[in-house]
Structure 1
Amino acid sequence: MKLSGLLVVLFLIFPEQETFGISDPRPACRFPPSQWCHSQEIAFECKVQKQCMELKAISSNQTVPRVSVAVYYESLCPDSRYFITQQLFPTWTMLQDIMSVTLVPYGNAKEVLSAASPFTCQHGAPECRVNMIQACIIHFTGNPLSLQIIYCMESSADVLNATQPCLQLYAPSVSWSSVDSCVNGRLGYQLMHGYAVMTRALNPVHTHVPWVTFDGEYTQENEDKAASSLFHLVCELYRGVKPPACTGAAVKLSRSVC
């Protein structure tokens, strides 16, 4: 954290010290705010031990890797759609600071040697098209926009027809023509081929979708937990200081009214 940012945090969380010309009746500490957390002795003298410990926890938390969640799925698979809309997106909405998401829209598709149709999909040609559309959207928008767009699509009654409205809603700067060109051109094939390679490289080999890995690993235990509460599993797997959403701790917010 830069010094300027640190000072702002310190002034915000240490209201008992003299700031902005408002004097505290207790003796002021001899050190400037920039040194309050340099040592335990200074923190003790300035009566900010608890706040310095919290600040240290926040700083160290930033170095802890996020829980990496990769979802291998099919765009028209009912179970995939349910997991994305009922588990993945709500959990990411609350825990995006401690988790990263990778979407792989391929699933049980097969790569075939046919110029007319290089892929076959479990739910037919429409699913192959939507898979490729979502691959192109991921390519053009990245996270978190792609997750929001795909959630919008998967939660719609008609996934394919929801594509353009969802794209316009979350990524208006990305034109539909660019996505359509990707789907109908070589780029779309290259993206899907890449997802095919990723899916075939899974160890153990996937047997169904959605197939979810955590930090690159799959276990039946984690899959069962993710199916019932992905939120609690991500909180459990995160190695840093748990955010308030995980612990249920109350967060003190400044309250203003009109």
Structure 2
Amino acid sequence: MAPAVPLALLALVALLAPGLGVALPGCDYPAHLWCSSREIAVACQAESRCANLSRPAAAPVELSLYYESLCPACRGFLVQQLFTTWLLLPAEALSITLVPYGNAEVGAGPTRCRGRSPRRCQPRLDRLVPQERNVSGKWHFQCQHGPEECLGNMIETCLMHEAKNFSTYFPVIFCLESGSSVTKNLEA
């Protein structure tokens, strides 16, 4: 003889079954994804079943990182802090723009300190050299950490341009930056 199923359990299944796995018109997602985002929950008419659906309290934090591909401090921040934070936060909480360009200008002269604390020293604005120059219609770049850094910056910029999707190119940039050499990591 088969075990008896409690009447209350049968009633609960009868009430919930119509919306547990049956795709509604306009819903092209399997039931296990219905509560993964607000857009999917709305499309699948499952908002009332998604109690844990987070509601954004504010606009995403926008962060632009201007970095140099061979700068040890930039690489450390990108690999050890920014990438891991990006992995932990929901996509709608943080919007990141990466700019592998480095310093906009490179100081060519001493600073003006004249007895001031190092925090108050000002670079000699009359001796700043632009990082890029147009020479006879051709752009020349000078990177703080040398020609290999310029190549690394260009590689990462091209990757971003071609991949277009941040979620696609950021893990690749993480791999390039976390290895021993950004440009040589491409050979691996």
- TM-score scaled by structure 1? 0.41
- Aligned residue runs from structure 1 range 34-49, under 5 A: none
AA of the residue aligned to 1:77: C
- Please identify which structure carries the higher strand content: 2
SS in 2 for 1:68: strand
Q: Which position in structure 2 is the counterpart of 1:132?
A: 154
TM-aligned CA distance change 1:70 to 1:22, over 3 Å: farther
1:111 to 107, 112, 132: 132
TM-aligned CA distance change 1:132 to 1:95, over 3 Å: same
SS in 2 for 1:113: strand
Deviation above 6 Å: which 4+ runs of structure 1?
none
Q: Whole-Å Cα distance in 1 between the matches of residues 159 and 168 of structure 2?
A: 9
Say if 2:132 and 2:139, in contact at 8 Å, map to a contact too: no
1:23 to 11, 26, 30: 11
Q: Whole-Å Cα distance in 1 between the matches of residues 64 and 174 of structure 2?
A: 15
Q: Which position in structure 2 is the counterpart of 1:102?
A: 97
Q: Which has the higher contact order (CA 8 A, sep 6+)?
A: 1
Q: Whole-Å Cα distance in 2 between the matches of residues 100 and 23 of structure 1?
A: 46
SS in 1 for 2:172: helix
Q: Which position in structure 1 is the counterpart of 2:53?
A: 58
Q: Whole-Å Cα distance in 2 between the matches of residues 86 and 155 of structure 1?
A: 9
AA of the residue aligned to 2:155: I
Q: Which position in structure 1 is the counterpart of 2:36?
A: none
2:177 to 149, 154, 158: 154
- Please identify which structure carries the higher helix content: 1
Structure 1 residue 81 corresponds to structure 2 residue 75 = yes
TM-aligned CA distance change 1:22 to 1:99, over 3 Å: farther
> What do residues 127-160 of structure 1 show as CA deviations (whole Å, max 9, x unaligned)?
1111011000001113111111111000001111
SS in 2 for 1:23: helix
- Larger Rg, first or second structure (1 or 2): 2
Q: Which position in structure 1 is the counterpart of 2:61?
A: 67
2:167 to 144, 149, 152: 144
Q: Whole-Å Cα distance in 1 between the matches of residues 69 and 170 of structure 2?
A: 13
| Per-residue deviation, 1:113 | 2.0
> What do residues 104-123 of structure 1 show as CA deviations (whole Å, max 9, x unaligned)?
01111511123666111101
Work out the number of aligned pairs and report it.
124
SS in 1 for 2:161: helix
> What do residues 179-212 of structure 1 show as CA deviations (whole Å, max 9, x unaligned)?
xxxxxxxxxxxxxxxxxxxxxxxxxxxxxxxxxx
Q: Whole-Å Cα distance in 1 between the matches of residues 67 and 95 of structure 2?
A: 16
Q: Structure 2: 5+ residue runs without aligned partners?
A: 1-7, 20-46, 105-130
Q: Whole-Å Cα distance in 1 between the matches of residues 175 and 90 of structure 2?
A: 17
Q: Structure 1: 5+ residue runs without aligned partners?
A: 1-17, 34-50, 166-258
Over the residues paired in the alignment, what is the CA RMSD in angstroms? Answer: 3.3
Q: Whole-Å Cα distance in 1 between the matches of residues 86 and 96 of structure 2?
A: 8
- TM-score scaled by structure 2? 0.55
AA of the residue aligned to 2:94: M
Q: Whole-Å Cα distance in 2 between the matches of residues 144 and 156 of structure 1?
A: 20
> What do residues 58-97 of structure 1 show as CA deviations (whole Å, max 9, x unaligned)?
3642x84322121110000000000000000000011142
